[in-house]
Amino acid sequence: MTSAQRASDVGALAGRRIVLGVTGGIAAYKAVEVASRLKKAGADVRVVMTRAATSFVTPLTFREITGQPVAETMWGEPQHHVAHIALAEFAELVLVAPATANFIAKAAAGMADDMLTTFVLATRAPLIIAPAMNTGMWENPVTQENVRRLAERGATIIPPAVGQLACGTTGAGRLPEPVEIVRVVENHFAHGQSLAGRRILVTAAGTEEALDPVRFLGNRSTGRMGFAVAAEAARRGAEVILVAGPTPLATPMGVRRVDVRSARDMHAAVRAEYDGVDAVIKAAAVADYRPVEIAEHKIKKSDGELTLKLTRNPDILYELGQQKKHQILVGFAAETQNVAEYARGKLAKKNLDFIVANNVAEQDAGFGVPTNHVQIFYADGRAEDHPLMAKAALAGVILDRLEEALRK
């Protein structure tokens, strides 16, 4: 029986060969629970630790949990023949949790100066990285560029959580809880190529409506949620078209990206693809209005008031709902009050199959953060409330619900 067959009979992780990389941050203690959860779920777990990681957790702890030797150095135990190659061939999946800024920089540059980085460079297994570090280090443009480079090469990044850090500051940088990390690993194996043969259109980020050559009307959407959905759909084997407003986010591996700027640009791009797709997941924050006129030159400041005359933009999702044939339509509702009421109204008016709603005024659940807390409302009247989780994990939930709808 193959490992995949065992997984389908017992659980997504049964018999799966996972290498857990542990780097030297205070969050290394959480990796102990990650290893334990993976092992209890039936995975065959091997651990590779950096020298710094052993200052926080002893290798003996991981050896007792996994029942396997722990790799710490190129020159010591375990006594495999060419140990990093043996591990590289063993791995079906590599999970690095926590991943420090130092490890991320080395991996992005292709460095191989210890057991973990050498093994990561040698393996062909999929790579999942869970960063954990000080907020300033995480938000540093160098770290963000390194993360983008790894994502472009196919690595799955579990965004750090927001909260109180060991250094005393509050912000993004916390390692997500072990249960969330393991859920991402489970999703990786559970779904395989479950969307193979499907064409999925995803929209993401905000739109910009020009006022003049310098200024525009826009919103705070970064596109993180839509990009996470596109990446997850591609990982499940779908042909993914990502129509994206202005954002610095890197294109997920295996995704065809169409860049747009205004609501009318997005309208045209979506309509061009609509007839040939099986589903649309519209996560973009599209401007409802645009200026009636765009000034040819920069609008100069004056002593009086400035009045802008606006006109309605096309309602893309409403049009899709009116012309829906076989497609599954998924909408998003970013609200600041009466979330359920407004979401249900949008669900009905736009003829959606389900809608993902969140309160953007809620802490850690709005624009520009790596986490979200949502409710999902269905056309048949059902509703679900999902706890705060990483957007990468939430993307898995949304795609699970999409697969259920496609099977009906």
Write out the catalytic residue numbers: 167
Look up residue 129 and give its amino acid.
I
Mode of pairing for the β-strands spanning 328-335 and 279-282? parallel
Other CB atoms closer than 10 Å to residue 384's CB: what's the count? 13
Residues 6+ apart with CB under 8 A from 57: 22, 28, 29, 31, 32, 49
**Cβ-contact 280, 320 below 8 angstroms:** yes
**Which helix H or strand E contains 329, and what residues bound it?**
strand 328-335
Pick from 359, 285, 276: nearest CA to 317: 285
- Give CA separation, 31 vs 66, 97, 108, 130, 179, in Å: 12, 6, 22, 10, 11
H or E element: which one contains 397?
Answer: helix 391-407
Choose among 76, 32, 78: nearest CA to 53: 32
With a CB cutoff of 8 Å and minimum separation 6, the contacts of 136 are none
DSSP character string of 241-257: EEEE-S--PPPPTTEEE
